[in-house]
Structure 1
Amino acid sequence: MGKRLRDPVHGLIVFDEKEPIDMLAWKLIDTPEFQRLRRIRQLGVSEFTFPGAVHSRFAHSIGVFHTARTLVKVLEREMKRNEQEFNNETAQVALAAALLHDLGHGPFSHTFEGVQESRGVKKRHEKWTADIIRNPSGRVRPLLEAHRVGFTEEVAALLEKEDPEDIYHAIVSSSFDADRLDYIRRDKLMTGTGAGGIDFDWLIENVRVAEIEIDAPDEDGSEPRRVQTFCLTAKARPAAEQFLLARYTLHQQVYFHKATRCLEHMISKLLRAVARLASGKKGEIKKSGLSETHPLIRFFAKDGETVENYLALDDALILGAIDAMSQAEDADVAEIATRLRERKLYKTLDLAEFGKDSGTQRNRLRRIREKFGDQIKAETVMLDDKAAIGIYAEIGGDDERMHKKLHIFDGERPVEISRLSKLIEALESKEQFTRFYFSDPAERDAARK
């Protein structure tokens, strides 16, 4: 027997009371740090476009843990096949990291990271996650240390690593890691996106472990670094193509949807305005419509970016403050808050409307920037030119690393899939898109002419 949860993607998820790592996971789920993820949507503002996309990072994280257990079993199988020794303690580190990997996401996830970066604070959610895990005043660290002395640092260090060091890291970060195996299926289900299929059981059956080169040889002639990761057999190639196509489709239709991107820019503008007021003179704070003790004000104030203040932030907190901010004295705060409350989005102009030709789009971009320069500076017209869609596109991450690319066996050698698949090769190059968001529909119409 044990604890059970029902999940729309995985069905019944069982936490076996005979498995120490399962019981640790159950206790971790009950901590305030993990429960906070109930109040952070997996897809941020996508529900404004896809009404069913209300799933949380709480549900996703549990799904990632469940999927990570499946990958651990695959790893046991493959290490036995290769006559290698399986390290259960290292596997437990990966399982705990899989469960806790999203603890550091802020409200509206990558949008909040962008706000912080614009303020000169380049601290990604992975670092926040590690800080939350290590926090001596938190509820996570004591549970990890009770499991095994030093376990906290092992888990936090794994989540901070950018490059893999062994096959266990692939469970948490690779082309076939537990995170994407959950979010692709979950986001596809909850948004109703139909294109692209995922034959999960067949993919898992055909997972193998092999070494790949993760960087180019050094100029001094030394050998490139090699690391073990998950690869797929040749007969799983059609399923692998569909897996990547499903991911591509989600980026195209959901993550980079024009309304979603517009809302993200509007929320970014709102939060930057609040941050400006919070970090200014004391009298400025009142212009935000929020009290001096509001968690957003505390966090954006000087020296306010502590773990405690960060954990007080979530989607629900900000959405719950929309009404108060709509009454703000500051024009930017009041305007955006009112628009969000009433779903009055800025109007989008996508340069793709003028055709695929890059020269035509560049000319149109130049003309619009010249004509609406003052509005762009004032952000009544917002320019979105930082996103591109490709088969390996990844929101908020680095998609160029070799261990993040899918490898298929070509004979005895693992090869990056685009070298074997014309379909994937055709989608590998990134398609840049450029959009403008206009507060005044008449200006959008004028920009079209």
Structure 2
Amino acid sequence: MELRAEDDDDDPFIAQLSQIAHEPRVHVGEENAAATAYCAGRRSRGKTFNDPVHGHMYFNPKLCDVIDTPQMQRLRELKQLGTSYYVFPGAGHNRFEHSLGTCHLANTVFESIKRSAPRHGLGLTVEDKLCVQLAGLCHDMGHGPFSHVFDNEFLPLRHGWDPKVVAPWNHERMGVDMFSWCLDDNHIDLEPQVVRRVCDFITSNEEGAKEKRFLFDIIANKQNGIDVDKFEYLLRDSYQAGVRMSVDTMRLTSHMKVIDDRICFKSSEANNVYALFHSRASMHQSVYTHKKAKAVEYMVVDALVEADIAWNGRISNSIWSVEDFIAMDDTLLKQIEFCDDPALAKARDIVRRIRRRELYRFVNEYTVPEDQVVDFKPVEAKDITSCQGTNNIPGGLKPDDIIVQCLKIDYGQKGHKDPVENVRFFHYWDDETSCSIAKEQISSLLPRNFVHRVVRVFSRRREPEYIEATAQAFSNFQRRQLGKEAQITPVKRQRFSNDS
């Protein structure tokens, strides 16, 4: 017998509580014998979490089985914003609460698109709903210590991965492995097709999907990037960091429906869609890539590299085994700091410098000219040191003395594309036909380009002579590369001291 989503056995009263203050509201149908049989063998009651961002969130018993496992609870030890927490002290939230919120929003979107369709028109079932909820709950299980710092900075250094080639490991695939292990390790009984579909949702693998492809748009939307993962982290991160956003994600959720097997948005929300991508770019610029947070990030990477060498690759090789990987979290810095092993001396010193706020020094930055953004060639440390000229450093600046960050902030699409080109809309007078809307039809105030590049330079040494030499070399590099000094703060206006 086919079970439809309105036959779900969630407690009707509690399930409605989970949608308080959100549009659209979710009204779960009454229990029936078939739904009860479908969920036989699980705990009898679910749980309600009171969340500062979403209010009361209800999780059915099957979801609670997964929440109460070591694999899921590990996410309590992973800061959602990584090293940004060292700059924004209110942003101490973890990937655990983000995962709960993503699951909650996945359920909200599921109910929204079900309700916007003709009755039974989408053929949505209890299994569909469970798969979407589990994918939202478990999508971040594969993140390592300090999240993207581990993926993008530490692992390529230790394994020598070529940045131009797709890495042999990523947190999505590890998330699938951790989810499968979580079920086996904790004897959680799920149908094989449910496990397979959850794994496909986490990795956005649509190859085997013959129908209901729109369900892949909910958790990790590879078509245009509008998904509940983005909704959740923007809402939570901005709230915790004290940054205001201009997007109304709940309104987007209320004005979506499925047309031609894809999630589409009401045409009146086109400006709101742009606001979503603009909010993401603003968060990257002001929070995620804050220059002090990046300084801490580079120190954490250096500390982890030194510790990994001392521990014979225990950190970097943990990615090949879920049993080893579960022990990898942000507490690694504590382990390094309070370990007396002489081999950890360099790593321990870096961690203690972080504690004393003796960070790598941000020296300066410049914005890449608009006409050079598309064909931008990454700047390396040796490019800067080759322009140093004369200074007071014996032997001169060396590439290891500095760090160059080639920062790219965009609207979530590769290159410099407008992501809204891949968004489908519908008009209120014809909500059965999807269409695209050109940027020119929406507003003349929208951005002309959708990518922004900045080149930054940091000094690992805090002595004034090193910082001055780095600043001068950076200025010389700009004159050689751009024909002028493009940075906002000239060298002669800077003040260098060990206190800054």
After TM superposition, the score normalised by the length of structure 2 is 0.70
Name the SS of the counterpart of 1:108 in structure 2. coil
Structure 1 pair 362–130 and aligned structure 2 pair: CA distance change class (3 A): closer
Residue deviations 1:238-276, cap 9 Å, x none? Answer: 322332222121111011111122222221122122223
**Counterpart Cα distance in 2 of 1:304 and 1:353:** 36
Residue deviations 1:50-87, cap 9 Å, x none? Answer: 11010010000000010000011122123327944224
Structure 1 pair 358–167 and aligned structure 2 pair: CA distance change class (3 A): closer
Residue deviations 1:27-54, cap 9 Å, x none? Answer: 1110010011111011011111111010
Instruction: Choose from 275, 279, 283 the match for 1:250.
Output: 283
**Counterpart Cα distance in 1 of 2:272 and 2:102:** 20
1:239 counterpart = 2:265: no
After TM superposition, the score normalised by the length of structure 1 is 0.78
Instruction: Choose from 398, 414, 417 the match for 2:435.
Output: 414
Contact 1:52 1:191 in 2 (8 A): yes
Contact 1:106 1:113 in 2 (8 A): yes
Shift of 1:444: 2.3
Question: What letter matches 2:240 in structure 1?
Answer: M
Structure 1 pair 169–424 and aligned structure 2 pair: CA distance change class (3 A): farther
**Counterpart Cα distance in 1 of 2:350 and 2:420:** 40
**Counterpart Cα distance in 2 of 1:159 and 1:419:** 35
Residue deviations 1:367-390, cap 9 Å, x none? Answer: 623146985543x311112x3112
Question: What letter matches 1:117 in structure 2?
Answer: P
Question: Of Structure 1 and Structure 2, which has the larger fraction of its residues in helix?
Answer: 1
The residue that corresponds to 1:6 in the other structure is 50
Question: What letter matches 2:191 in structure 1?
Answer: R
Structure 1 pair 66–176 and aligned structure 2 pair: CA distance change class (3 A): same
Question: How do 1:114-129 and structure 2 match up within 5 A?
Answer: 114=152, 115-120=154-159, 122=167, 123-129=169-175
Residue deviations 1:205-232, cap 9 Å, x none? Answer: 2112234xxxxxxxxxxxxxxxx33221
Question: What letter matches 1:298 in structure 2?
Answer: R
Shift of 1:440: 2.3
**Counterpart Cα distance in 1 of 2:284 and 2:455:** 15
Question: What letter matches 1:370 in structure 2?
Answer: S
Contact 1:351 1:365 in 2 (8 A): no
Instruction: Choose from 36, 43, 56 the match for 2:94.
Output: 56
What is the number of equivalent residue pairs in this alignment?
399
410-419 or 65-74, which deviates more: 410-419
The residue that corresponds to 2:305 in the other structure is 272
Q: Rg bigger for which structure?
A: 2
**Counterpart Cα distance in 2 of 1:367 and 1:268:** 22
**Counterpart Cα distance in 2 of 1:388 and 1:353:** 10
**Counterpart Cα distance in 1 of 2:370 and 2:272:** 30
Question: What letter matches 1:118 in structure 2?
Answer: L
Residue deviations 1:385-412, cap 9 Å, x none? Answer: 2x31122269xxx997979954444785
1:447 counterpart = 2:470: yes
Give structure 2 stretches of 5+ with no counterpart. 1-13, 15-45, 162-166, 389-394, 473-500
CA root-mean-square deviation: 3.5
Give structure 1 stretches of 5+ with no counterpart. 16-21, 212-227, 280-296
Instruction: Choose from 229, 233, 240 the match for 1:183.
Output: 233
The residue that corresponds to 1:160 in the other structure is 203
Shift of 1:433: 1.3
Contact 1:392 1:428 in 2 (8 A): no
Residue deviations 1:134-161, cap 9 Å, x none? Answer: 2288535x32xx2324432332233223
Shift of 1:172: 1.2
